[in-house]
Amino acid sequence: ETGVTQSPTHLIKTRGQQVTLRCSSQSGHNTVSWYQQALGQGPQFIFQYYREEENGRGNFPPRFSGLQFPNYSSELNVNALELDDSALYLCASSLGAEPTDTQYFGPGTRLTVL
């Protein structure tokens, strides 16, 4: 039942720039969550959107923002990029917003900040 896609696959930016990462959820999935996975670490929760509204947020600064659209696509925007933002960014979609709902992950976008 997977089918979550992300673009681009890889991205290189310089410090201070802004970046937009995109995710396409499986049709019918009302919830999208974004995670940051630093090298050698487990994914860290950034935020979740449910039916186009932010539904929860992890310990990330406001320069990390998101949008979810009615067509099951979503965006993660990061402003004022820092070197530590270099990571694999994963989106995950699920049918609902219950904690027991399975989250289906995309392949990720590898962001490198120079």
Partner 1 sequence: AQSVTQLGSHVSVSEGALVLLRCNYSSSVPPYLFWYVQYPNQGLQLLLKYTTGATLVKGINGFEAEFKKSETSFHLTKPSAHMSDAAEYFCAVTHSNSGYALNFGKGTSLLVTP
Binding site for partner 1 (CB under 8 A): 2, 4, 31, 33, 35, 40-45, 48, 55-56, 58, 90, 92, 97-100, 102-108
- Minimum CB–partner distance for residue 11 and partner 1 (Å): 15
Instruction: Give the largest CA-CA distance in the chain.
Output: 38
Q: Which residues contact 29 (CB under 8 A, 6 or more apart)?
A: 72, 93, 94, 95, 104
- Minimum CB–partner distance for residue 88 and partner 1 (Å): 9
Nearest to 111 by CA among 26, 15, 2, 5: 15
Nearer to partner 1, 48 or 68 (CB): 48
- Minimum CB–partner distance for residue 15 and partner 1 (Å): 25
Nearer to partner 1, 16 or 56 (CB): 56
- Minimum CB–partner distance for residue 56 and partner 1 (Å): 4
